[in-house]
Amino acid sequence: MDHKELELKSIEYRKTILDIIYNGGAGHTSGSLSCIDILNVLYNNILKINPNNFNSTDRNRYVQSKGHTVEALYTVLCDQNFFSRKDLNSLNKFNSHFIGHPTRKVPGIEHNTGALGHGLSVAVGMAIGFKLDNKPYKVYTLLGDGELSEGSIWESLLSASKYKLDNLVIIIDRNGLQITGKTEEVNPIEPLLDKFQSFGLCVKQVDGNSVSELDQVFKEIPFENNQPNLIIANTIKGKGISFIENQVVWHHKLPSEEEYNNAIQELNIQLENFK
Amino acid sequence: MIQKANLEIFAETLLDLAKKDKEIVVVTSDSRGSGKLTKFGKELPDQIIEVGIAEQNLVGICAGLAAVGKKVFGVSPSSFLTARSLEQIKNDIAYSNHPVTLVGISAGVSYGQLGSTHHSIHDLAVLRTINNISIVVPSDNFETKESIKEAVNYKSPLFIRFGKKPMLKIHNEDDTFKIGKGAKIIEGSDVMFVTTGETAQRALLASEILHKKNISCSIINMHTIKPFDSDLFLDCLSKVKAVITVEEHSENGGLGEKCASIISQSNINIAFKIVGFPDEYMTNGSQSDVLDHYNMSPEKLAEIADDILK
């Protein structure tokens, strides 16, 4: 997909995220909006994961460690035809498989996440498995920046480096906020670049809301042979909707009817301007 | 007859199986020595993953390896594996339904004088409350070997725990073993010992003392704590006058309470006693000393049986 098509997708995806959260009665609104461009580029241009090959062991993998922004993942998987929009509209309803964190009951979901600090170890295990079998597949995993306080993340990085996992791609959704406030006030994690480099990873930083920058950086993988790849994707939490951007309160806030209408109106204007 | 430690049988069996099946991968947390896997590491270096002292990461990596088709054994002291990594077991293995076998070595009070940090008298209780994971506690070399063989192709999450001391022979090689089915060891008519794992040998020695007093014992080893073979338990229980459960585990949440739950919900009235570790600041000593102190010497078990029948 070219970058224009990806940009259009991102606006449409944001509308879907707002729709399903508003209709489902709950969701992680701003975090889903910060990471949707990353998922857009991955699923449309990079991963080559689709309903036809999902049951095969011979394919790339995507593990969403920051499970709470599952609405972004559902949105992209729906667009990849893993399930219908009608199914997705059952989000949060009784007996629906579409719950507030990724579950393998939903087609296209690789691993059950929700508790933070788990996905990276699992991704490391997958990447080691591919290395053991000399298979050419890559494992992509998306982590939140607040999640980096979990000690298990740093355990996993040691193993990733030890086993020279250049088939592992770690993406940090660096939106700077977590449920309580700014990451640098809740529990400072900077200097992130230095920390990751000192753990033996090859690190690049991009604008994580720029589909062209993301597309470019993913195509440069492996950055170096024998080194795990890590991308700090600098994003804006709530990206795309003026009154949600960078507002802590929107971490798990449900839009009111008025807020929902205003958000959709903003996105419709973006669509108009785009065309 | 004294046999090898179950730990050694585990390591030998796994090495034999892994030589024939390159999909078998072992993951250790600086535990290849304590897991008797040094030889495995030398002979099959491409089938062992070492994560260092990082049990949470160990369990997550096990899940990832299983997700790409490996037959995975995660090996770590039961104490750390089941307490420190409990959330990884719950979410990454059980809830995500990856067919990983987690092997808790040096379980119970195997580490003796090393103290409570290293003891796992909680592991059965906590894992009993996790959905979608089977729990196996083999008694002797036979059950250990058979459980590891069955684990290789077990289709869902599995936890196996055992100790590291030489074991009495309990089973014959032509006995049957299946995860989910309890094992009758001896049949009698007065009192039944229900054991799990290595306490079976203590019950067996107790039964010899009781035999001299003309007290007839049954012993069943419930090597599978979950799913529990209630049918066998109830069938054997119907033939005796009293039941004593014996476990190298807290009295809370283990074998004994499982049996009590079945008995009470079946409206059965029978003399019943749980022998395990009480909820107290525990004493120190060798594994054998600690088991003896908490009523698990053969003599004490025989005395308890004698009393309960009066």
Q: What secondary structure letter does DSSP report for A256?
A: P
Q: How far apart are CA B69 and CA B254, in angstroms?
A: 33
At A258 the pLDDT is 97
At A138 the pLDDT is 98
Q: How far apart are CA B49 and CA A63, in angstroms?
A: 21
Q: Among partner residues B52, B54, B61, which is closest to A128 by beta-carbon distance?
A: B61
Chain B residues touching A156 at Cβ < 8 A: 57, 60-61
Residue A209: pLDDT above 90?
yes
Residue B136: pLDDT above 90?
yes
At A182 the pLDDT is 97
Q: Among partner residues A115, A124, A139, which is closest to B87 by beta-carbon distance?
A: A115
Helix/strand/coil for B228? coil
Task: Answer yes or no: do A129 and B68 touch at CB < 8 A.
Answer: yes
Q: Among partner residues B54, B66, B97, which is closest to A155 by beta-carbon distance?
A: B54
User: Based on the number of CB atoms within 10 Å of its own CB, is B131 exposed (0-12), middle (13-18) or buried (19 or more)?
Assistant: exposed
Q: How far is A201 from chain B (nearest CA, A)?
A: 17
Name the amino acid, one letter, at B121: I
Q: What contacts B49, CB < 8 A, 6 or more positions away?
A: A128, A163, B25, B26, B27, B28, B61, B65
Token digits for B221?
């080893």
Residue A113: pLDDT above 90?
yes
Q: Among partner residues A126, A152, A158, which is closest to B68 by beta-carbon distance?
A: A126
Only one residue has tokens 């929700």, namely A114
Rounded to an integer, the average pLDDT of B70-98 is 98
User: What is the Cβ-side half-sphere exposure of residue A178, based on CA atoms within 13 angstroms?
Assistant: 17
Model confidence band, residue B36 (pLDDT cutoffs 50, 70, 90):
very high
- Pick the residue from chain B with its C-alpha nearest to A135: B68
Q: How far apart are CA A205 and CA A56, in angstroms?
A: 32
Q: Among partner residues B52, B56, B70, which is closest to A121 by beta-carbon distance?
A: B56
pLDDT in tens, A38-94: 999 999 999 999 999 999 999 999 999 999 999 999 999 999 999 999 999 999 999
Residue A274: pLDDT above 90?
no
Helix/strand/coil for A206? strand
Chain A residues touching B61 at Cβ < 8 A: 121-122, 124-125, 128, 156, 159
Task: Answer yes or no: do A110 and B87 touch at CB < 8 A.
Answer: no
Backbone angles phi, psi at B286, to 5 degrees: -65, 165
Chain B residues touching A130 at Cβ < 8 A: 68
The answer to whether the Cα torsion of A158, A164, A169, A174 is positive or negative is positive
Chain A residues touching B51 at Cβ < 8 A: 155, 158-159
Q: How far apart are CA B80 and CA B104, in angstroms?
A: 9
Q: How far apart are CA B120 and CA B107, in angstroms?
A: 6
Task: Answer yes or no: do B57 and A155 touch at CB < 8 A.
Answer: yes
Model confidence band, residue B107 (pLDDT cutoffs 50, 70, 90):
very high
Average pLDDT score, chain B: 97
The residues in B 61-100 lying below 8 A from A, measured between CB atoms, are 61-70, 87-88, 91-92, 95-97
Residue A251: pLDDT above 90?
yes
Only one residue has tokens 């033939």, namely B239
Residue B89: pLDDT above 90?
yes
Rounded to an integer, the average pLDDT of B255-261 is 98
Q: pLDDT exceeding 90 applies to what percent of chain B?
A: 98
pLDDT in tens, B171-197: 999 999 999 999 999 999 999 999 999
The residues in A 173-232 lying below 8 A from B, measured between CB atoms, are none
CA distances from B32 to A185, A219, B53, B115, B207 (A): 41, 39, 11, 21, 37
At A235 the pLDDT is 98
The answer to whether the Cα torsion of A211, A216, A222, A227 is positive or negative is negative
At B109 the pLDDT is 96
Whether chain A has a CB inside 8 Å of the CB on B45: the answer is no
pLDDT in tens, A63-75: 999 999 999 999 9
Task: Answer yes or no: do A125 and B66 touch at CB < 8 A.
Answer: yes
Rounded to an integer, the average pLDDT of B198-203 is 97
pLDDT in tens, A147-160: 999 999 999 999 99
At B1 the pLDDT is 86
Among B51, B86, B87, most A C-beta atoms within 10 A, so best to mutate, is B51
Is the confidence metric ipTM above 0.90 for this complex?
yes
Q: Among partner residues B61, B91, B97, which is closest to A125 by beta-carbon distance?
A: B61
Rounded to an integer, the average pLDDT of B27-54 is 97
Chain A residues touching B95 at Cβ < 8 A: 112
Model confidence band, residue A133 (pLDDT cutoffs 50, 70, 90):
very high
Residue B74: pLDDT above 90?
yes
pLDDT in tens, A7-35: 999 999 999 999 999 999 999 999 999 99
Average pLDDT score, chain A: 97
Chain A residues touching B49 at Cβ < 8 A: 128, 163
Q: How far apart are CA B169 and CA B3, in angstroms?
A: 6
At A275 the pLDDT is 78
**Cβ atoms of residues A205 and A193 within 8 Å:** yes
Q: How far apart are CA B13 and CA B125, in angstroms?
A: 27
User: In terms of Cα–Cα distance, which of B300, B310, B308, B274 is closest to B206?
Assistant: B300
CA distances from A174 to A168, A189, B53, B67, B203 (A): 18, 11, 29, 28, 59
**Cβ atoms of residues B262 and B225 within 8 Å:** no
